[in-house]
Amino acid sequence: MSFKGVVETRCPKGCEPFEAEIWSFINGGDSPELRESLAAQECNLILCPGCGEPFYPEAPYVYYEPQAELLAFVFPESWRDRRQVWLRKMRDDFAAFKKVMGPRLPGDIEPDVFFGPQALSELLGREDYRREEREVMEFVAKDLGLALYRVGPHFARRAGIPDCLPYAAQPPAAPTKSSLVAGLEKLLQTNDRLSAYQSYLAAVRADPAFSIPPAARR
């Protein structure tokens, strides 16, 4: 569920202050239309009733997408100069958020912190691209008879790796380095345009200490 709040604000042109209703907590899993609005940098963009100027109010909000294990605290761009102050506040707020969410929030998740809407918009765009590439991979892997190993989304995003990997074995057999390499090679022989999987295969081959990334929670 997503929540709204009322803030008092004024536009950058100095018109009279007014009250505006804005989103303070956005659940991207429950509210895909709000997720799209964030990606387009339109969420919480309001119009001054005095002069019609569009602007973002000086108010923070939280974005949460459970399936992607994505949690973001978004502060106004103008607050960047006091970054350390707001990072401390975020840590306090995050501690309270964890108590409220309990076991629904993965224990190892760490929030992203952004100042202004652009960085979150770019992150959501990258997430959409990763999802589209994963969907193509899954379609090809099914045709090739490859098994799929789902990596924890938070870990995959922070490590810059795909969150679903093909491997040459049949479940319940767990993936190994050799079965991952074999699966990735077979996948890329069929479709060599999957850039994230090309990069991951190169990284796996080059890493003598490679270990299987943590699995997604069921």
pLDDT in tens, 40-81: 999 999 999 999 999 999 999 999 999 999 999 999 999 999
**In a shared domain, residues 19 and 58:** yes
**Quick check: is 122 in a domain?**
no
**Quick check: is 10 in a domain?**
yes
**In a shared domain, residues 162 and 195:** yes
| Both tokens assigned to 73 | 């605290």
Asked if residue 25 has pLDDT above 80, the reply is yes
Cβ–Cβ < 8 Å for 203, 174:
no
Residues in contact with 72: Cβ distance below 8 Å, sequence separation at least 6, in sequence order: 62, 63, 64, 111, 112, 113, 114, 120, 123
**In a shared domain, residues 187 and 139:** yes
Domain edge (last residue) among 64, 92, 116: 116
**In a shared domain, residues 92 and 152:** no
**In a shared domain, residues 39 and 93:** yes
Cα gap 16→23, rounded to integer Å: 22
pTM: 0.89
Verify cis geometry, omega within 30 degrees of 0, for the bond prior to 172: yes
pLDDT of residue 109: 81
Domain extent at residue 54: 3-116
**Quick check: is 156 in a domain?**
yes
Cβ–Cβ < 8 Å for 52, 41:
no
Mean pLDDT of 126-130: 97
pLDDT band at residue 101 using 50, 70 and 90 as cut-offs: confident
Please give the tally of structural domains in the chain.
2
**In a shared domain, residues 33 and 106:** yes
**In a shared domain, residues 88 and 10:** yes
Asked if residue 120 has pLDDT above 90, the reply is yes
Domain edge (last residue) among 76, 92, 116: 116
pLDDT band at residue 107 using 50, 70 and 90 as cut-offs: low
Domain edge (last residue) among 92, 116, 140: 116
| Both tokens assigned to 204 | 């796996």
